[in-house]
Chains A and B, each alone.
Chain A
Amino acid sequence: MSVLTYLQQHITVLDGGMGTLLQAAGLGAGELPERWNLTHPDIITDLHRQYYDAGSHIVSTNTFGANLLKFSAAELEDIIKAAVQHARTAASQSTTEGEKFVALDIGPTGKLLKPYGDLDFEEAVELFAATVRLGVQYGVDLILIETMNDLYETKAALLAAKENSTLPVFVSNAYGADGKLMTGANVDAVVALLEGMGADAIGVNCSLGPQQLVPIVEQYLARSSLPILVQPNAGLPEVKNGVTVFNVLPPSFAETMSYLVERGIRVVGGCCGTTPSYIAAVCEKIRGKAPLPIQPKHITCASSYTHAVDFTDMPVLIGERINPTGKKRFKQAVREHDMGYILNEGIAQQQKGVQLLDVNVGLPEIDEVRLLTDTVCQLQAVVDLPLQIDTADPVAMESALRRYNGKAMVNSVNGKAESMARIFPLVKKYGGLVVALTLDENGIPATAAERVAIAQNILGTAATYGIAAKDIVFDTLCMTVSADPQAGNVTLSALKTIKETLGCHTSLGISNVSFGLPCREAVNSTFFAMALQNGLSAAIMNPYADDMLKTYHAFCALTGRDENCAGYLAFAAQQAPSVCADTHTLTLQEAIIKGLGDAAATLTAQLLTTTDGLTVVQNEIIPALDRVGTGYEQHTVFLPQLLMSAEAAKAAFGVIKSALKNETAADKGHVIIATVKGDIHDIGKNIVKLLLENYGFRVTDLGKDVAPRTVLEAVQSTGSRLVALSALMTTTVPAMEETVQLLHREAPGCRVIVGGAVLTADYAAAIGADYYGADAMEAVRYAEKIC
């Protein structure tokens, strides 16, 4: 019988702790327990046998940390082979009746993935894959991924298991007392990702005792349509008489586990501090209990690395601004790989209150696979909203979905057989909430009935891939009303039918409706209100359009979706014009010196009504910057003030740039800036970048952890004559030296300035740098000399 067949009918019992028992048997601190499979086979086999004897149906191999980071390929194979053998031997030695399965145990690598650690996602997948392949080769019955405290690493492990085996995969995460993983994911986010990718059972282990896990388990039971597994610690460790003991004993452990079985969990076991006697107590307590049926939950959601956004009765706002279509500045950013600009668009939209972000960076002349993937990864370092990945290129879609940390929205599939054949397998493999456009090989139907028919066809085809209706959101296509007076009516009629008769959620790109018309805001916001009234679940919209937000909040208040109008009142309070009282008494120079960004922008706009932009720069902004810069050099102005002034100046420059669209702004030259390979700190780099921009330099920011060759390529493609490199630690200075050497060899006309906490002028000279910048102002002064 397979473990999944068994699980359908029975409460299934896992084993308990291993580490605690091995320590009791003499495993030293810092010694690798997996090696005991080779050195102490009898002890390992006996521990497994004790668990089977106690009533475990599944014993997990002693391979928690068995991966290529800790062992050579040859030793890893020996360890996994032996580990599986020990579990099999134990199963045959055990005298108890009942099914006996062997699970390949996989724990975390101990490394944190990028962007906050240095383990690349694909490297992580490959590490887990090597372990999985060996487990499969030596004949385990299932894979147990456990104690994962980071969602992204969990995804890597699950992906590796799915790509390298057809075995059932159980996934268990370790939560903190705050109900989140160490890297911030809540239960909703974890469940969304794991269900989306096709785990067979999911749940929680380690960190906490059984009682403390109850609220987290309840959330799993409420969210998930999968069998839930629970392996708590034996409470919290305490030191008594110099020995670690756990404060929950078998009877009360079994009591809580029995309660959880009554609540609906399907797989039980233990983690740190639990022993065969805990498992025996649990088996005794739950004997004869029939498992509760598992109810499908039908939750439609997308998720990020922290949380999920549910599609419910409350309409969802999806920000549309990360998209180059019709936006000159955005196109420039995409072409120049100006990630700062793109990320800013994401952060600004979140501040406007959208719950998801659409991400589209498609332009004919760019490498969309790379740029889309980069954009998704970098957005996920700074914006915790779920993303809607928007591309017509299935290769770019797969690349971005693979790297995405969460369950993304997929924009889009349509009724064409080819589209479904390309997109549905991706949704099945990586999980996703897919936007389905009601068009097919014959184009966009003119009638609502035909669009609904396409929707039905899409649902039927999705089902053959194992994709449920809850994971499809229909877009009934908003056409331009100026071209077809019935366009709005048809869209809304199809929308209403799909919502009411097919029971599916819907989404629309609102702005399309008003193309070609003047005063588009009125058309958009009115159509938005009509769509909401017809059951629209989500709108892809411009969050800077006040009328759209007004409509949204008013609609929610008017339809009983906003208790006490609280949301509306909060929104209205933000609508009051912000008062910049200071602008009456301040000059622009003073505003910049004091670091008042809003005032600086307002005053610049006022000055531009009587003066030209270049004069404002020459007479107001530059003198203010010089005063602050000199003050900083003389230690009368400190770093935070210098930065605040720089930001105020940037705000003033922004106003001037948008006013003189056709004039070229001052350009003193091009600087490439980066934090070197292996270094993940970038605050110093960001400070230098801001000041360089202030002083009129064009800056290409390559980010952090940048390989020497990437810097060289940027120099070669831009012709820049100055590179600024930052490193924080002595351990990353060698990477800086390597970069400097490479640049001097391959791009001899280019100078390199270096800076960072551990550097000194002597150290900089020793690694061959052209100049050492002790602080940001020195970097500016040097750039002025060189460029």
Chain B
Amino acid sequence: MNILTKTFSAPPVDVREIARYAGCRTENHDIEEKIRACVTEAQHLFKYTIVYTECPVAVTGTTVDFGVFRVPSQSLCRALAGCCTAVLFAATVGLEIDRLVARYGITEPSKALLLQSFGAERIEALCDRFGEFLKETTGKTLHPRFSPGYGDCPLCVQHDLFTVLDCSRKIGLSLTDTLLMSPTKSVTAVIGLEG
């Protein structure tokens, strides 16, 4: 089994998306100005790292067998319908944004909120960028990514993903006993590959 890590360059920043994560339902010039200041302050803090592996997919009844572990989940079966292989991955933008959010949580909670939203936008952008990368390198059709906890998929699948991908050593991502990820701006998921 080949476990690979990859570091991406920074994807373009979407200020409107950050505003949306912060709870702005309509366009708001003042808030977007403030977000731009946050972007300037924090954009150099992010790392864009992913650890991933491609593995076979075998569906039996309502269980998916990745060869390395099995997941009992109808939702996941549906998400991987028609796929012979899937990519398991863990992505993180690093711990520094968590530190900055904690710091502003004490001095300026509004800024903590915006930075938190910036982090959310960054990790999503990283996952999207990774999807494009997979599309280019595999030439296959990608199914939408599916994370532990979606639908009926148990959250404890995190344990299996973390063991197989060796997340802590490879990208500095760890799991708490309560299955929270640290750094918090991180994603683990499965992407089905078809064709």
Contact = CB atoms under 8 A, between A and B. Distances in A.
B106 A344 contact: yes
B92 to A, nearest CB: 9
A690 interface: yes
Interface in B166-195: 168-169, 171-172, 174-180, 182-184
A643 B109 contact: yes
A731 B31 CA distance: 33
Contact of A731 (B107, B162, B169, B178): B178
A381 interface: yes
Interface in A543-595: 594-595
B69 A30 contact: yes
Q: Which of B7, B98, B109, B171 has the most CB of A within 10 A?
A: B109
B2 A680 contact: no
A65 B103 CA distance: 34
A3 interface: no
B113 A116 contact: no
A242 B2 contact: yes
Contacts of A683: 101, 105, 109, 112-113, 116
Contacts of A728: 180
Given A30-B68, A176-B47, A640 B174 contact: no
Given A117-B182, A347-B106, A382-B99, A640 B114 contact: yes
B176 A344 contact: no
B135 interface: no
Interface stretch (A48-56, A177-185, A425-433, A438-446): A177-185
B96 interface: yes
Interface size class of A (residues with CB under 8 A): 35 or more
B37 interface: no
Interface string B1-31: 1111001000000000001001111001011
B128 interface: no
B31 A641 contact: yes
A643 B184 contact: no
Interface string A334-358: 0000001001100110000000000
A680 B176 contact: yes
A775 to B, nearest CB: 9
Interface string A465-481: 00000000000000000
B152 interface: no
A303 B135 CA distance: 45
Contacts of B69: 30
Nearest to A594: B30
B25 A686 contact: no
Interface string A731-759: 11001000000000000000000000000
Contacts of B162: 110
Contacts of B132: none
Nearest to A346: B106
A766 interface: no
B180 A679 contact: yes
Contacts of A340: 106
A29 B164 contact: yes
Given A111-B174, A683-B105, A647 B95 contact: no
Interface in B85-104: 94-96, 98-99, 101-103
Contact of B110 (A115, A183, A643): A643
Nearest to B107: A347
A647 B108 contact: yes
Interface of B: 1-4, 7, 19, 22-25, 28, 30-31, 34, 47, 53, 68-69, 94-96, 98-99, 101-103, 105-110, 112-114, 116, 155, 160, 162-164, 168-169, 171-172, 174-180, 182-184
Interface of A: 28-30, 107-108, 110-112, 115-118, 147, 149-150, 174, 176-178, 182-184, 206, 237, 239, 242-244, 340, 343-344, 347-348, 381-384, 594-595, 635, 638-641, 643-644, 646-647, 678-683, 686-687, 690, 728-732, 735
